[in-house]
Chain A
Amino acid sequence: MQVPLSGPDITKKETDLISEVLGTPYLSMGPKTSEDFEIAIARYAGQAQGET
């Protein structure tokens, strides 16, 4: 058996969101980072506001 040391867990959801970004002009500092991802992390960590 070949056991990997580690590995990411990627699903259709990840692929879809990345494809979505590639369909917009915002490849850096767009709505996916500044809004969705930061807010999600902040909420998860119990903070009002996050910043990348």
Chain B
Amino acid sequence: MMQVPLSGPDITQRERDLVNQVLDTPYLSMGPKIELFEAAMGEYVGRQYAVGVSSGTAGLHLAVIAAGVEEGDLVITTPFSFVASANCILYQRAIPIFVDIDRQTMNLDPALVAQAVVDLTDHQEWATRWLPPSMRNADCGLRNSKSQIGNLKCILPVHIFGQPADMEFLTWIAERYHLPLIEDACEALGAEYQGKKAGSLGDVAVFAFYPNKQLTTGEGGMLVTDREEWAALFRSLRNQGRDDSGAWLNHVRLGYNYRLDELSAALGLAQMERFEELLSKRERVAGWYGERLQGLEGVETPPISPQTTRVGWFVYVVRLASHVDRETLMASLEERGIPSRAYFPPIHLQPFYRETFGYQEGNFPVAESVASCTLALPFCGTMTEEQVEYVCDKLGSLLRSKGCLKASSAR
């Protein structure tokens, strides 16, 4: 039996060399490597400023702060994502306003976002329906009320699984209502929307470099923006609120320790040098999957929007037909040495969100329906064609057998 890893980084001698160079210097944090890594990333994405941070989550937190989000404020985002894209709003004691997704792209549905923005700003009598259930109290107006509900402050789309959200429509809405647009590009380094790089489309974008990402630093993240004052704010916030005068112990605002250490930055710099290779290898693996899964009954390959001129392949997520029992299929794959994951359970149904905001099944039907049938197969750039062949072969025979069908649909 073959044992296939779910994911894995692609590390060469170049990565080792750059990390070892750092160990030969006294600069294990905030040294020359992070500056080079930031410059390389800014140039790649086509942004003037890039600021390295300790994780994508830390970057999202700082982006939300820059957008002026404070206690009780509202931020529109997607319920179909990794939990950090909504948690970063809660760090500011603000309220995530979930808006349902597009069934095909699994990204925010821009028409629904437009409706939410209009209701939350111009039509306050209809605003409450967008609030979390536990806050839909009839007395709870929005602006100028005694309640703790603040103003709509920004829109935070996520480029899910490496495919950009519909940024043209979202930008149009955001500009019309003077709302900053934060791109959560943590899963989408290298992706392109209408020929433009993910990360170059909003007021600020955040990338993440966990080991299963297109580029890894171990732990790490990066903010990119063209706004000079935001870049300066990020540099201060990541470094305990220090100002940029060079006075090491002058703290001008509440900051955090969100610095990216120099060893991680060196790893990132080496990966950035090889980035086209890293992304191409992932594209090749996605291609192998596509060829083999095309036409296989019971499974649908990831739909790519015509707006997506390049996918920044992060994971390979298929959708299972409604008669397939996902749990049984996952267990059977595991027995055959193939790990898989049900990416993503919707954020609003996470126990903490149910408890805090009163969410339940049925609140975001599209996200819930998509989440009930998605399955991430093993995926990374170092996967071999033999491994992909093995996964598809086993998946195919399991789908053809009756063992993985739901009881109600067994024929």
Contacts and interface: CB of A to CB of B under 8 A. Distances in A.
A36 interface: no
Interface size bucket, A side?
Answer: 10 to 19
A22 B16 contact: yes
Interface in B249-280: 263, 267
B23 A10 contact: yes
A28 B20 contact: no
A19 interface: yes
Given A18-B19, A22-B11, A27 B26 contact: no
Interface in A3-52: 4, 6-8, 10, 14-15, 18-19, 22-23, 25-28
A48 to B, nearest CB: 27
Contacts of A18: 19-20, 23, 263
B8 interface: yes
Contact of B23 (A14, A25, A26): A14
A31 to B, nearest CB: 14
Contact of B8 (A7, A10, A22, A25): A25
Nearest to A12: B23
B208 to A, nearest CB: 11
Contacts of B20: 15, 18-19
Of listed B7, B20, B210, B211, residue having the most chain A CB within 10 A: B211
Contact of A22 (B7, B15, B24, B28): B15
Interface of B: 5, 7-9, 11, 15-16, 19-20, 23-24, 26, 28, 210-211, 216, 218-219, 263, 267
Interface of A: 4, 6-8, 10, 14-15, 18-19, 22-23, 25-28
9 contacts: A7-B26, A10-B23, A18-B20, A18-B263, A19-B16, A22-B16, A25-B5, A25-B7, A28-B219
Given A22-B16, A27-B9, 17 more contacts: A4-B26, A8-B26, A8-B28, A15-B20, A18-B20, A18-B263, A19-B16, A19-B19, A19-B20, A22-B11, A23-B11, A25-B9, A25-B211, A27-B267, A28-B210, A28-B211, A28-B218
